[in-house]
Structure 1
Amino acid sequence: MNFRQLALKNIQGNWHRYVAFFLSSAFSVMVFYMFGSFIYHPEIANGNIKAASMVKQVLFACQILIVVFSFFFVLYASFAFLKTRKKEFGLLTLFGMTRSQICRLMFYEQMMIGLLSIGVGIGTGMLFSKLFFLAIARLLQIDSPIRFVVPPQALLQTVIGFLALFLAMTLFAMFSVGRSQIIALLRAAKQPKKPPVASPWLTVLAVVCLGGGYYLAFTTSLKLILQLMLPIVLLTVLGTYFLFTQASVAIIHRLQRLTGLYYNRTNMIAISQLAFKMKDNARTLFVVSVLSAVILTASGTIYVFYKSSDQQLMEQLPNTISFTEQGLNAPRGIDPERIKAVLTAEGASLAKELKIAGVQVPLKLDGSRASDITALLISESDYNRAAEGIEYAAPLQIAPGHAVFSYPYKMSDIKLMEKGSQRTVQLNGQTWPLEMDGQVTGAVINLMGEASGLLVVNDGEYAQMMGKVPDDRKIVYYGFELNRWQEHAAAVEKVKQSVPEEQRKRLSDRTSYYASTQQSSSLALLIGLFVSFLFFVASASMLYFKLFTELQEDDHQYRALMRIGMSVSEIRRIINVQIGLLFLLPVVVGAAHAAFAYKTLANLLSMNVWSYGAMVIFVYAVLQFLYFLLTRRAYMGQMKSL
């Protein structure tokens, strides 16, 4: 038997240890190749598909992210495999095998796994790349499908990149084993374990860091997020580390003092073993928990923007079609009656029609965004009529001598107009002092350059003010809201074609923005799903590695327990608890981190994101549970006595 055959036999005999690493690596290669095949596709590279330029840049950034993440994942896997093989290498050395021969054996094993991962990953990538192209073409609304090709650049980049990665990690592992002494290799799995001890101060530090990070995340606002983002991340990561290395041991010691629980059936053995396992697995649980938080936060954020894109668009453009005319009695460049006739002919029905007259006035903002802007002065009645049917816009009641500032963006945490502040409006030489009743946020009409906000005044005062303004200075706003507006993009396009070309720049419509918003949000969701699932598979595989590195030691312990009378069902119950906690704790901690991240997102967007975040957490928990069932089955199958 030569070295290549021996390496192949070793891989076959230890396949239960390598399978998670192989599948994770193959999936990374598959995603990397699929992204590369789109980037280097001839139609994309030659610029034949203009809409794909943005997607190309995003996928290239994702490729870099995959390589960086794969480097650390393979490095961790190399450490895990090396730990389980040290005793075996010590025995081989004792039987006369030289260090160079052991390194040669390791080289063959690692490169076989690496080449197999690259081959399977590229093969599955080719198999699914056509579906990937079809999905992107549909999202970009490309008429002709993107043809299937195998770009040589993508193939070469994938092979060279991952081959170099596996080779570097193999050389690192060979160097580590080459420096070890025989006695250290033989005793690697039998090093005595000290009883786990928790530092009270570091336990308190874990609580303080997590509490501080959660508090900042819960209370942060749009104007503070840039200053607080780094402290929130640092406090949360530091608190998570001490949670698993210190606080978890303190909690287990507390459980051991609860005699009613500790001495109930097999709890004494399960809790005692759990104290050592938590200490041994603390760093792994810390890494997986942080990765879980990153996956849940990133996936939840992308999902929120995808699901709320329609709502955000309607908040920015409350009317499906709008335009303005300068002058009250000026000749109409755009005829409102013509617009309604075209819409009716195309089968679109009006939900609301607006005609609002106003005048532009200078206005000074308060707070951190203090500046001089131009506001459109309108009446209380016109505002309330525009706000009808808009969920976030409440009707206003304004007393004479008072006014309300309406800001078109929903940024409730930023005060642009203090209540009780004084403003002065000058129109045609006459001055009107106004006491501000504060601000409301959220657009009720499409403000596309005419003004940065609305200044809403009492109806009587509005009539007096407008009476002092010449008709040619007045601005008339026309707005049309359609029922089921998403279905009438063609009708809106017909309206635009019916308007003289030189007047079209004054016409604003929501449907054109809707198409581009749907494209970008759908693409972000598609790419985010690929990357998030890659992170999930890798993080779950880390738990798999850690569990199987201690398989032989656990097997000896459980066989000893069976010799003193413990039943198979009791042993299985202990195993279920210990493996279950190993997979459950990162989900719980990651979900807690993500929940406060969702709260921060809700503060920034001034919207409810909990239903979307709960859906993402639920899906992640289900996937983790399925991975737990597969891992438990494989683990039970490898237990010699069970």
Structure 2
Amino acid sequence: MTFRQFAFNNVFRNKRIYAAYFLSSLFSVLVFFVYAIFAFHPNLSKVNPNVAVGLHFAEGIIYVFSFIFVLVSMSAFLKSRKKEFGLMVMLGMTNKQLRRMVFIENVLIGFFATVSGIAVGLVFAKLILMAAKSILSLEESLPFYLPWQAIILTFSAFLLLFIVISFFTVSILKGNKLIDLIKGSTAPKKEPKASIVLSILAALLLAAGYVIALVVREMQVVVAMIPVTILVIIGTYFLFTQLSVFTINHLKGQKKLFWKKTNLVLFSDLAYRMKDNARAFFFVAIVSTVAFSAIGSLVGFRYMFTTAIAADRPFAFEYASNAGNENEQKHIQLIESKLDSFTYEKGEVHVKKISIPSLATKHIPLIGLISESEFNQLAKVAGELDKQVKLKDNETVYLYFQSSVGGGTERDLVEKRTLEFAGGKLNQIATLGSNIMGTYDNYLVVSDTFYDGIKEFEPETYYGFQIQNWKDTAKIGEGLLKEMGVSQTGGYSKNFHFSTLGYDWNGTNQGFGAVLFIGLFIGAVFFVAAGSFLYFRLYADLEDETRKFSAINKLGLTDKELSKILTVQLGLLFFVPIIVALIHGAVALTALQHMFDFNLFKSSALVLGTFTAIQLVYFLFIRFNYIRKIKSAM
């Protein structure tokens, strides 16, 4: 047997421990490769060049995270194999040969993980490209192509990553004495103790972070983000290293609880495991929080902005014409000609502008007047009959634009006041928040008699086209923007403004679909890595657990009691960091909700619920295999 064969066989002998590491590395390679397939796709850059840039950025994030994840995982593996390495040294293996063996093993696993990840990506490439059509809201599916650039980039990048990590990991073995290697994990451990001061500090830091995050509103959320993040990270670290151990030791002091059935076995070992795995749990909690918050934010943003754009604009097409616009009737006839196959209603409002000092601002010296009859007709077309008004001659209703995100634009609303201007007075009897006029401006709704008496200004005109199935008008809207010669990102011209809800909604949906697509897999990588790290920690201690329960079994421990102890122990170790991450994520998403004053409960619950369900399935799978291996070893 050659030395390389010996290293190769070592990998297969430890395949139980290396399995999760191999699969997680494969998944990281797979996601990186999928992003590369899209980033280099010749048709995607034509649809949206920003998506390709975002995909390459996502690849960079995954690559950096994969480096940290693989490095930490390999360090944990090497520590769990110290006893094995000690025996090899006793049998004559030199330190140089030991480091060489570990280097070959790491490169070998990395090579097969990289090749397997690329192979799996190629197998499912066609399916993934087809799925991208709905995720990115593309009009045409992306055809399959042979992604040579993606293959070369992924293979070279990850092979380099595993080689560099192999150099890092072999340095961990330097300086280890033979006696330390032989003892391995069997060296006696000191009884875990916790500082009361640091335990209280952990609770205070987390409480302070949560309170600040939940109390702040609007842009204060952005200001509070960094200090809250620092408080929560430090608090989480002390939660696992101090408060968890303190809580377990306190429970052990409760004799009725500690001596009840198998709790003695459970609590006696739980404090040691929490202390040993504190950093791992901290890592899992923070990484999972990032995954929850990132994906929850992206899903929430997409839901919020696509909902808001539809809620804030009741009309499929809006055309606002300034005074003196010679193309007004030509454009209106053009819009109507494009809607021959649609059933629609048209609302029309003429706006006269006057100067009212108490309402004038530096940027908007004039305010528009709308007649009562035209406003009521527009409200009827928009389907908002509850917004219709009834006014006497000198009465007015202040109409301000009210957005579904962040509320109204007017900050100083007064229900009743007298508005004086050069031609007389108006009695403001009420304020009305609405988005019926989709120009994002504020107006005064006045009686028809008062409106007809204003002669100084030539009126501007606003048209609203109500269409039931407005999402089907995206292509028509795009064509109208081109024919009118206005920008497709704003629709503004010197004399008029034209907006198309279907086209704008579709563009917003596509943009956030691309961002969600990018963020979804990054979050998935983080989440899989977090779950895999728990798997590594559990199986690294499998030999010690088997030895311990074999001894207890001789004292009369039944299979049912063994399964119960292991289930509770695994459940605590598996779900405590995930529950902490869920709480962190829920607080972060609630703060996001407060920032925009928009209800994101459904999207947040969907994301957190999905992750919880996946983690539960993962736990049941791990529990079944873990208990089976311990029982078979006993």
User: Could you state the TM-score of these two structures normalised by the residue count of structure 1?
Assistant: 0.87
| Percent pairwise identity | 29
**2:347 aligned to 353, 358, 361, which one?**
353
**1:146 aligned to 143, 147, 159, which one?**
143
Aligned pairs for 1:593-632 (under 5 A) are 593-632=584-623
Q: CA RMSD in A?
A: 3.5
Instruction: Give the aligned residue type for 1:320.
Output: A
Is 2:474 aligned against 1:479? no
C-alpha displacement at 1:346, in angstroms?
0.4
Q: Matched residues in 2 for 1:249 and 1:325: separation?
A: 70
The 1:377–1:234 alpha-carbon spacing in structure 2 relative to 1, beyond 3 Å, is: same
Is 2:436 aligned against 1:444? yes
Partner of 2:442, secondary structure, is: strand
CA contact (8 A) 1:24 1:538 kept: yes
CA contact (8 A) 1:292 1:536 kept: yes
Instruction: Give the aligned residue type for 1:355.
Output: V
The 1:416–1:454 alpha-carbon spacing in structure 2 relative to 1, beyond 3 Å, is: closer
Q: Matched residues in 1 for 2:180 and 2:367: separation?
A: 80
CA contact (8 A) 2:405 2:598 kept: no
Structure 2 residue aligned with 1:53: 49
Partner of 1:417, secondary structure, is: coil
Structure 1 residue aligned with 2:113: 117
Aligned pairs for 1:502-541 (under 5 A) are 506-541=497-532
Q: Matched residues in 2 for 1:373 and 1:365: separation?
A: 9
Aligned pairs for 1:195-206 (under 5 A) are 195-206=191-202
C-alpha displacement at 1:504, in angstroms?
10
Partner of 1:418, secondary structure, is: coil
CA contact (8 A) 1:11 1:109 kept: yes
CA contact (8 A) 1:325 1:475 kept: yes
CA contact (8 A) 2:400 2:410 kept: no
Q: Matched residues in 1 for 2:271 and 2:6: separation?
A: 39
Q: Matched residues in 2 for 1:198 and 1:587: separation?
A: 22
C-alpha displacement at 1:90, in angstroms?
1.0
C-alpha displacement at 1:119, in angstroms?
0.7
**2:61 aligned to 49, 65, 75, which one?**
65
Q: Matched residues in 1 for 2:163 and 2:427: separation?
A: 74
The 1:581–1:407 alpha-carbon spacing in structure 2 relative to 1, beyond 3 Å, is: same
Structure 1 residue aligned with 2:490: none
Residues 488-545 of structure 1 show CA distances to partners (whole Å, capped at 9, x for unaligned) of: 4456568779979999963221111122122222223333222221111111010011
Structure 2 residue aligned with 1:317: 313
The 1:329–1:237 alpha-carbon spacing in structure 2 relative to 1, beyond 3 Å, is: closer
CA contact (8 A) 2:318 2:500 kept: yes
Q: Matched residues in 1 for 2:245 and 2:77: separation?
A: 26
C-alpha displacement at 1:425, in angstroms?
7.0
Q: Which runs of 5+ in 1 are unaligned?
A: none
Q: How many residues align?
A: 623
Is 2:96 aligned against 1:93? no
C-alpha displacement at 1:306, in angstroms?
3.0
Partner of 2:443, secondary structure, is: strand
CA contact (8 A) 1:420 1:436 kept: no
**1:171 aligned to 164, 167, 171, which one?**
167
Q: Matched residues in 1 for 2:281 and 2:607: separation?
A: 21
Structure 1 residue aligned with 2:25: 25
**2:627 aligned to 606, 628, 636, which one?**
636
Residues 521-570 of structure 1 show CA distances to partners (whole Å, capped at 9, x for unaligned) of: 22233332222211111110100111111111111111111111111221
Instruction: Give the aligned residue type for 2:517.
Output: L
User: Could you state the TM-score of these two structures normalised by the residue count of structure 2?
Assistant: 0.88
Instruction: Give the aligned residue type for 2:600.
Output: V
C-alpha displacement at 1:468, in angstroms?
3.4
**Worse-matched range after superposition: 475-484 or 15-24:** 475-484
Partner of 2:114, secondary structure, is: helix
Q: Matched residues in 2 for 1:143 and 1:505: separation?
A: 33
**Worse-matched range after superposition: 132-141 or 570-579:** 132-141
Residues 413-433 of structure 1 show CA distances to partners (whole Å, capped at 9, x for unaligned) of: 788522459999786x44758
Q: Matched residues in 2 for 1:393 and 1:608: separation?
A: 23
Q: Matched residues in 1 for 2:605 and 2:413: separation?
A: 37
Q: Matched residues in 2 for 1:103 and 1:71: separation?
A: 20
CA contact (8 A) 1:324 1:506 kept: yes
Structure 2 residue aligned with 1:591: 582
Partner of 1:221, secondary structure, is: coil
Residues 78-112 of structure 1 show CA distances to partners (whole Å, capped at 9, x for unaligned) of: 11111111111111111111111111211221111
C-alpha displacement at 1:239, in angstroms?
1.5
Is 2:574 aligned against 1:579? no
Is 2:549 aligned against 1:566? no
Q: Matched residues in 2 for 1:334 and 1:67: separation?
A: 55
